[in-house]
Structure 1
Amino acid sequence: MAQVLEFKLPDLGEGLTEAEIVRWLVEVGDVVAIDQPVVEVETAKAMVEVPCPYGGVVTARFGDEGSELPVGAPLLTVAVGATEASAAAAAPEGGGAAAEEPSGESGSGSGSGSGNVLVGYGTGAPAARRRRIRPERSPVPSPAPAAPAPVAAAPSPAPVAAGEVNGRQGPVAVVSPLVRRLARQHEIDLRQLTGSGPDGLILRADVDSAIRQAGQVGQVGQVGLATELEARAAAEPVAAEASTARGATAAPAAERIPLRGVRGAVADKLSRSRSEIPDATCWVDADATELMAARAAMNAASGPSGGPKVSVLALLARICTAALSRYPELNSTVDTAAREIVRLPGVHLGFAAQTERGLVVPVVRDAHTRNAESIGAEIARLTELARTGKLSPAQLTGGTFTLNNYGVFGVDGSTPIINHPEAAMLGVGRIMPKPWVHDGELAVRQVVQLSLTFDHRVCDGGTAGGFLRYVADCVEQPAVLLRTL
Structure 2
Amino acid sequence: MAQVLEFKLPDLGEGLTEAVIVTWLVQVGEVVAIDQPVVEVETAKAMVEVPCPYGGVVTARFGEEGTELPVGAPLLTVAVGEPTTVPEPEGSGNVLVGYGTGTPPARRRRIRNTAPAPERTNGTAERGSSPEPAPRATAVETAPHTQVPAPPFPLAEGPAPVISPLVRRLARDNDLDLRRLSGSGPDGLIMRADVEDALRVSAARAAAPRTPAAPSNAPAGTRTPLKGIRGAVADKLSRSRREIPDATCWVDADATELMRARTAMNAAAGPRISLLALLARICTAALARHPELNSYVDVEAREIVQLDHVHLGFAAQTDRGLVVPVVREAHTRDAEALTAEFARLTEAAHTGRLTPAELTGGTFTLNNYGVFGVDGSTPIINHPEAAMLGVGRIVPKPWVHEGELAVRQVVQLSLTFDHRVCDGGTAGGFLRYVADCVEQPTVLLRTL
Q: Distance in 2 between matches of 1:274 and 1:58?
A: 46
Rg larger in structure: 1
2:320 corresponds in structure 1 to 357
- The answer as to whether partners of 2:113 and 2:138 remain within 8 angstroms in 1 is no
* Alignment equivalent of 2:307, drawn from 325, 333, 344: 344
Structure 1 residue 17 displacement after superposition:
1.1
1:163 to 106, 111, 119: 119
Aligned CA-pair RMSD? 2.6
Q: CA deviation at 1:408?
A: 0.4
1: CA distance, partners of 2:414 / 2:139: 58
1: CA distance, partners of 2:109 / 2:273: 59
Q: Distance in 2 between matches of 1:275 and 1:415?
A: 16
Tell me how far apart the structure 1 counterparts of residues 436 and 86 of structure 2 sit (CA, whole Å): 68
Q: What's the offset of the Cα at 1:170? A: 6.5
Work out the CA distance in 2 between the residues paired with 1:467 and 1:98: 69
Residues 352/316 of structure 1: CA separation in 2 closer, same or farther (3 Å cut): same
Counterpart of 1:417, as a letter, is I
Alignment partners' CA distance in 2, 1:162 and 1:281: 61
The residue that corresponds to 2:75 in the other structure is 75
Whether contact under 8 Å (2:47, 2:353) holds in the other structure is: yes
Distance 1:481 1:100, change over 3 A: farther
Contact residue 60 and residue 169 of structure 1 kept, 8 A: no
Give the letter for the 2:392 counterpart.
G
Question: After the TM superposition, which residues 23-422 of structure 1 pair with which residues of structure 2 at under 5 Å, given as runs?
Answer: 23-81=23-81, 100=87, 112-116=90-94, 118-125=96-103, 141=108, 163-164=119-120, 166=130, 171-172=140-141, 174=143, 253-302=220-269, 306-307=270-271, 309-422=272-385
Aligned to 2:153: none
Q: Cα–Cα, structure 1 residues 142 and 297, in superposed 2: closer, same or farther, change >3 Å?
A: farther
- CA distance in 1 between counterparts of 2:85 and 2:288 reads 58
Once residues 119 and 274 of structure 1 are traced to their aligned partners in structure 2, the CA distance between those partners, rounded to angstroms, is 33
- What is the aligned partner in structure 2 of residue 445 from structure 1? 408
Residues 292 and 98 from structure 1, CA distance in 2 versus in 1: closer, same or farther, beyond 3 angstroms? farther
Alpha-carbon distance in 2 for matches of 1:261, 1:286: 38
Q: Deviation of residue 27 (structure 1)?
A: 2.0
* Deviates most, 440-449 or 370-379: 370-379
In proportion to residue count, which structure has more helix?
1
Q: Deviations over 1:356-409 (max 9, x none)?
A: 111100000000111111111100010011111100000000000000000000
Q: Deviations over 1:6-54 (max 9, x none)?
A: 1111111211111001111122222211111111100111111100000
**Aligned-partner SS, 1:255:** coil
Q: Is the 8 A contact 2:20 2:43 kept in 1?
A: yes
| Number of residue pairs matched by the alignment | 366
The verdict on how the C-alpha distance between 1:68 and 1:80 changes in structure 2, with shifts beyond 3 A counting, is same
Deviations 1:281-328 (A, max 9, x none): 0000000000000000111112xxx22x10110000000000000000
Evaluate the alpha carbon distance shift between residue 454 and residue 81 of structure 1 in structure 2; reply closer, same or farther with a 3 A threshold. same
TM-score using structure 2 length: 0.77
Q: TM-score, normalised to structure 1's length? A: 0.71
**Which amino acid counterpart does residue 342 of structure 2 have in structure 1?**
I
**Rounded Cα–Cα distance in structure 2 between residues aligned with 1:38 and 1:169:** 23
On the 8 A contact 1:58/1:171 being kept in 2, the answer is no
Counterpart residue type for residue 46 of structure 1? A
Structure 1 ranges of 4+ moved more than 3 A: 96-101, 164-175
Instruction: Point out where structure 1 has 5 or more consecutive residues left out of the alignment.
Output: 83-95, 102-109, 134-140, 144-148, 154-159, 176-194, 201-250
Q: Which amino acid aligns with 1:274?
A: R
Larger strand percent: 2
Gap change, CA 1:333 and 1:98, over 3 Å in 2: farther
5+ unaligned residues in a row in structure 2: which ranges? 132-136, 148-217
Q: Residue 458 in 1 paired to residue 416 in 2? A: no
